[in-house]
């Protein structure tokens, strides 16, 4: 019998953005086999897509509830072990909760839920379930982001005083100015996306990256959002000031109307002894800044990198690591956790990251609504 972990997929159909990333990433380290799915709410499209990508159709279900019901009838050694939840945001909570209640491991897209309250319920559900739960803050899987985390932990830049994370996209610019077009996008529909577009979709990645790389906790925030139109309910741009400690401050800059920007996630952390800077669109370079030495550039796969970083590279230096590898590293960490093997806590974002993310999203909306006031995170 195959030693591969039996993976189920929810959402992520042929019409989706993120499905291909999860499917390919799950295969990169030879740990998973896709055995069942509901790729799409339309059953015909669902089956057609399964055939297209060569997933056996006997476990392609008409909807999520049927998947759970039918899988539970199978012997444990045949049943789906872990499900990836890749649907629009509003379905993450009901799907993840039911999966946990029925003993499945879960890999959940971000934002983990649409409210903080749901996030706390999910956290309590996981405590009872005792299964593995990961939130796919994809960028934490990059070798040079992991290197950044390990260098900061080892004191390479000394005491941190300034953090700056930006996530700039421009794609909503072509949609937001047309009232009819605006209503066709689920990310601009609060019923499907939750209370925030820009912070909920991408600002939350920047938030997570700051806490992931620094190991520090963001304590309070002040947000200033732009909605562009009075009748648009969802933020499409925002700046969030952050305080981590009395003398550790910074900013999250996030936009979906930064015209011409593609997937411009950047993070810079400055400390008393030096700085570190990384850019998602050039992910193989980690810049090390210093007051008294020339600029250094760290690259993946070299022995000078940390164990955590090296664990995320598969080929010798000079073979670029990209977004598929980054997600694959998260799947690899989850595979280790499912198998009960030892893993580093930097290998995949957890329930706590999901809960913190929802606290950030709700608090930033509240701060903006109340006239840009400081809000303490919980």
Ligand X SMILES: NC(=O)c1ccc[n+]([C@@H]2O[C@H](COP(=O)([O-])OP(=O)(O)OC[C@H]3O[C@@H](n4cnc5c(N)ncnc54)[C@H](O)[C@@H]3O)[C@@H](O)[C@H]2O)c1
> Could you give the CA distance from residue 21 to residue 175 in angstroms, rounded to a whole number?
24
Residues 6+ apart with CB under 8 A from 287: 275, 276, 277, 278, 295, 296, 297, 298
Residues 6+ apart with CB under 8 A from 226: 235, 236, 237, 238, 257
Q: Which of 13, 271, 300, 333 binds ligand X (CB under 6 A)?
A: 13
Tokens of 372: 């840009």
Question: Of 67 and 375, which has the nearer Cβ to ligand X?
Answer: 67
- How far are the Cα atoms of 5, 26, 43 from residue 46, in angstroms, in the given order? 22, 19, 5
Q: Which of residues 26-45 bind ligand X (CB under 6 A)?
A: 38-41
CB of 237 to ligand X, least distance (A): 17
CB of 35 to ligand X, least distance (A): 16
Question: Of 89 and 305, which has the nearer Cβ to ligand X?
Answer: 89
Q: Which of residues 172-191 bind ligand X (CB under 6 A)?
A: 186
Question: Of 53 and 289, which has the nearer Cβ to ligand X?
Answer: 53
Q: Which of residues 232-291 bind ligand X (CB under 6 A)?
A: none
Question: Of 211 and 298, which has the nearer Cβ to ligand X?
Answer: 211
Query: Terminus-to-terminus CA distance in the chain, angstroms?
Result: 47
Q: Which of residues 330-359 bind ligand X (CB under 6 A)?
A: none
Q: Which of 5, 7, 10, 269 binds ligand X (CB under 6 A)?
A: 10
Window of 80-88, 239-247, 300-308, 366-374 that interacts with ligand X by CB under 6 A: 80-88
User: Residue 190: what are its φ and ψ, rounded to 5°?
Assistant: -60, -25
Note whether 346 and 211 are within 8 A (CB).
no
Question: What is the size of the binding site for ligand X (CB under 6 A)?
Answer: 24
Note whether 330 and 134 are within 8 A (CB).
yes
Q: Which of residues 82-141 bind ligand X (CB under 6 A)?
A: 86-89, 91, 109-110, 136, 138
CB of 158 to ligand X, least distance (A): 31
CB of 180 to ligand X, least distance (A): 19
Tokens 């664990």 belong to which residue? 311
Q: Which residues of 156-183 are buried (b: 16+ CB within 10 A; e: fewer)?
A: ebeebbebbbbbbbbbbbebbeeeeebe
The overall longest dimension of the chain from CA atoms, in Å, is 65
Question: Of 64 and 225, which has the nearer Cβ to ligand X?
Answer: 64
Question: Of 271 and 362, which has the nearer Cβ to ligand X?
Answer: 362
CB of 88 to ligand X, least distance (A): 6
Question: Of 32 and 61, which has the nearer Cβ to ligand X?
Answer: 61
DSSP string across 127-177: HHH---EEE--GGGGSHHHHHHHHHHHTTTT-SEEEEEEEEE--TTHHHHT
CB of 136 to ligand X, least distance (A): 5
Interface residues with ligand X (CB under 6 A)?
10-13, 15-18, 38-41, 64, 86-89, 91, 109-110, 136, 138, 186, 201
């Amino acid at each position: 019998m195959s030693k591969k972990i039996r993976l189920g997929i929810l959402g992520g159909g042929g019409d989706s953005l993120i499905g291909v990333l999860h499917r390919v990433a799950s295969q990169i380290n030879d740990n998973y086999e896709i055995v069942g799915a509901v790729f799409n709410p339309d059953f015909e499209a669902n089956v057609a897509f399964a055939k297209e990508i060569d997933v056996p159709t006997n476990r392609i279900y008409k909807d999520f509830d049927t998947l759970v019901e039918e899988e539970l009838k199978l012997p444990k050694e045949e049943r789906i072990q872990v499900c990836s939840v890749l649907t629009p945001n509003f379905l993450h909570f009901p799907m993840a909760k039911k999966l946990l209640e029925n003993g499945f491991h879960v890999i959940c897209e971000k934002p983990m839920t649409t409210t903080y309250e749901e996030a706390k319920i999910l956290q309590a559900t996981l405590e009872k379930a005792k299964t593995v739960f990961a939130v796919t803050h994809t960028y934490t899987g990059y070798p040079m982001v992991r290197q950044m985390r390990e260098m900061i932990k080892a004191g390479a830049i000394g005491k941190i005083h300034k953090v700056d994370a930006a996530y700039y996209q421009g794609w909503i610019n072509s949609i937001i100015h047309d009232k009819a077009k605006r209503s066709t996008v689920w990310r601009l529909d609060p019923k499907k996306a939750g209370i925030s577009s820009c912070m909920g979709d991408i600002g939350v990645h920047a938030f997570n990256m700051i806490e992931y790389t620094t190991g520090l906790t963001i304590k309070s925030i002040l947000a200033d959002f732009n909605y562009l139109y009075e009748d648009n309910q969802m933020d499409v741009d925002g700046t969030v000031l952050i305080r981590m400690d009395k003398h550790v401050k910074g900013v999250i800059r996030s936009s979906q109307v930064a015209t011409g920007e593609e997937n411009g996630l950047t993070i810079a952390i400055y400390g008393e002894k030096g700085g570190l800077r990384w850019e998602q669109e050039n992910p193989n370079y980690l810049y090390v800044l210093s007051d008294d030495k020339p600029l250094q550039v760290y690259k993946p796969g070299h022995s000078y990198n940390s164990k955590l970083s090296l664990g995320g590279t598969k080929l010798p230096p000079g073979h670029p690591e990209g977004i598929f590898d980054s997600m694959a590293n998260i799947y690899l960490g989850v595979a280790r956790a499912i198998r009960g093997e030892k893993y580093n806590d930097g290998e995949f974002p957890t329930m706590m990251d999901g809960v913190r993310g929802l606290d950030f999203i709700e608090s930033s909306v509240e701060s903006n609504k109340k006239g840009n006031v400081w809000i303490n995170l919980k």
